[in-house]
Amino acid sequence: MDKKPFKIVFMGTPDFSVPALRALHESRHEVALVVTQPDRPKGRGRKLMPPPVKETALKLGYEVVQPETVRDAAFVETLNAIEPDLFIVIAFGHILSQPLLDLPRLGAVNIHASVLPRYRGSAPIQWAVINGEKETGVTAMFMDRGLDTGDILLVEKMAIGPDDTSGTLHDKLSVLGADLLIRTLEKFEADDIRPVPQDSEQATYAPLLTKRDGQIDWERPAGDIECLIRGVSPWPGAFTWLEGRRVKIFKARPVSTDTDAAPGTVIPAFPDELWVATGKGALSILEIQGASGKRLRISDFLRGCTVPPGTCLRAPDC
């Protein structure tokens, strides 16, 4: 006899969560409620905008609640009344208390965008690219009171390509996470869940990025800077300074050359190229955006802006 579909409360907020919600919608399971963050002001007009999960959930016909805090008594009572089998939590943005985690009959499952226990925290995709990792993935785990410390249920790995940015990986991992969620639910249905505790000695932490994390430190090796540029794309974006004005760097590649120029100094190259000395080797800038211009290939940028060898790409106060 077929088992009853699970009654699920889905909790998520940004674009990363949307493929998983759509996958649940297309599964045989019941999404009893969607929980997401409140609408927030965005853009120059500071107009209130709904989170992507709310927009998707309403289109799919689900009831949505947006508590300011998950400790709100009315919210907890709403969850109790549903009597869910599972919470599915993906990039929700709230920490759930132990009483909430204990509420679903089968537990609370989180999909995290790394191969745990590495890159616990808010920005696992970005830091994996910044650190030059060759591989990342998604992990399904039981939630506990710690930060991404729960027992692992399933893992799916993915290679990080040489041209991958945090943005491209985000999109790939969100789809992979949706697939992993459905396979995890199949494990629950088959009574084949085998939680594995994390090895905390192997854990690393991926804190939330700030705008300052995008500043290029030319003392770093060229390969590290190239990883930084990809890791902070699209946000906060890599930047440096040209004649006292901030410029964004979107794409670059290390080049083999011998130079004793100080890191951050433009060195001789072909007329349509911009090579910069680093702490180890040099970097060829491929795409750039000036202080008030648009994103350009370096050859187009150099047609309107002369950057002779010896120019220093450093902060004005250095």
Q: Whose CA is closest to 4, among 101, 91, 84, 66?
A: 84
Task: Give alpha helix (H) positions in 32-165.
Answer: 52-60, 73-82, 98-101, 124-130
Cα–Cα distance measured from residue 238 to residue 230, given in angstroms and rounded to the nearest whole number: 8
* 234 in Cβ contact with 287 (< 8 Å): no
SS3 category, 120 = strand
Cα–Cα distance measured from residue 238 to residue 212, given in angstroms and rounded to the nearest whole number: 9
Ligand-binding annotation for 181, yes or no, is no
* Token pair listed for 297: 């290939």
Exposed e or buried b per residue across 22-37, where buried means at least 16 C-beta atoms within 10 angstroms of its C-beta: bbbbebebebbbbbbb
Ligand-binding annotation for 76, yes or no, is no
Ligand-binding annotation for 117, yes or no, is yes
Ligand-binding annotation for 166, yes or no, is no
Q: Which residues are annotated as a binding site for (6S)-5,6,7,8-tetrahydrofolate?
A: 114-117
Q: Which residues are annotated as a binding site?
A: 114-117
